[in-house]
Amino acid sequence: MQSQRRLELINATLESVALHGLQNSTIITISKLAGMSSGIISHYFGGKQGLIEATIKHLLEQLKQALLEGMRDKPLTASERLFKIVEANFTQLQRTASVYQTWLCFWAQAMHDPALARLQHINSARLYSNLRYSFAELLPKEQATVAAQQTAAMIDGFWLRSALSVEPTEAFSQAEHLCKCFIENLLQQHGDN
C-alpha cells in the first residue's frame, strides 16, 4: 500500500508539473491530483523537495529499466547495445508530455539546486558510461571516448529539440532514427559494424 501511494504521488507530481510547471506545483496541487491529503506528502517524502527528487529518481529508474529490458532477451553485439541505449532514451514513457515536461523543468532547476544537479550528474554519467563501454569494443580508446561524448550529446540534443518541438511525437521518432544513423555512420567511418 505504501509503495502504491508513493507511486500515485509521483504520478500526480508528473501531472502537476505538466499542468503548472515545477515552481508552481505545490503540495496542494499535487495532493489534489493524487486525491490524497497534503500531509501524506510530508509523511512519505518530507515535503515538496523530497517528492520532486523521488520523482526524478523514478524517471531515472524507468530509463535504467528500459535499457535493461532491451538487453535481456539475448546477448547483444556492441553496436546492438548502442542502438538499445538510444531506444531506452526514446521510449513511449520518455515521449509522454508529463514526463518530458518534467525532465525539462528538472534540467532548468538542476542549475540552481545541488540535489537535482547531483541527480543530473548521475544521469549524464550513466549515459556516457554505457555508450563508452560499447564503443570501446569497436573503436580505439580515444576514439571510443569521443564517440561516446558525441553520441550522448546527440541523444540529449535531439531529445531536447523533440520535447520543445511543435509536434513532439513525430520529432521523437525522427530523433531516435537520426541518433541511430549517427552511430551507424560513425562505425562505418571507422570500418566497424
CA–CA separation, 20 vs 15, rounded Å?
Answer: 9
If you average pLDDT over residues 84-93, what whole number do you get?
Answer: 95
Residue 1, pLDDT above cutoff 70: no
Query: pLDDT for 37-66, tens place per residue?
Result: 999 999 999 999 999 999 999 999 999 999
Task: Name residue, grid cell 546527440.
Answer: 154
Query: pLDDT for 94-113, tens place per residue?
Result: 999 999 999 999 999 999 99
CA–CA separation, 83 vs 76, rounded Å?
Answer: 10
Residue 34, pLDDT above cutoff 70: yes
Q: Is the pTM higher than 0.85?
A: yes
Check residue 72 and give its pLDDT: 84
Query: pLDDT for 154-186, tens place per residue?
Result: 999 999 999 999 999 999 999 999 999 999 999
If you average pLDDT over residues 71-84, what whole number do you get?
Answer: 91
Mean pLDDT taken over the chain: 93
Residue 191 falls in which region: left (phi positive, over 0), alpha (psi -120 to 50) or beta: left
The DSSP call for residue 1 is -
CA–CA separation, 147 vs 106, rounded Å?
Answer: 26
Q: Which amino acid is at 7?
A: L
